[in-house]
Amino acid sequence: MVKLIVGGTGTGKTKTIIDLVNNAVQEEKGSVVCIAKGDKLKFDISHGARLVNVSDYMVEGYKGLLGFVSGIHAGNYDISKIYIDSLYKLLDSKDTAVAEAFLKEIDAFSAKHGVDFTVALSESEEAITEAMKKYI
């Protein structure tokens, strides 16, 4: 399953991600991972979740991010939830077509490996593609 959280800058998407991660740590039997750019969440995310600063690794573009997510999962098959904060920042692109392609790929990954994804995207609901709307 892929869930998309959309909204403009300052609408509380990151706060929602933080709350979801911290709740998942309490409720999930599997491991919980949060992927973000930078370390601004390190004091907000429960130590029970794995917070990964994508800036510490050489991740480029959506294929690189998909490979990165695959590598994280390959290292720990117990992962049940992955949260991605600010997808456009991680991709270094504000291209809805690129974001849509990434969402389709992680949806297939989710179905194959049983990992649920929640992705925050700084975009208005009116500006996202029709294919992306199915994840809201």
Q: What is the pLDDT of residues 91-131, one digit of tens each?
A: 888 999 999 999 999 999 999 999 999 999 999 889 899 99
Domain 2-133 has CATH 3.40.50.300: yes
pTM: 0.95
Round the average pLDDT of the chain to a whole number and report it: 95
The residue extents of the domains of the chain are 2-133
DSSP bridge partners of 81: 32, 116
Mode of pairing for the β-strands spanning 116-122 and 79-84: parallel
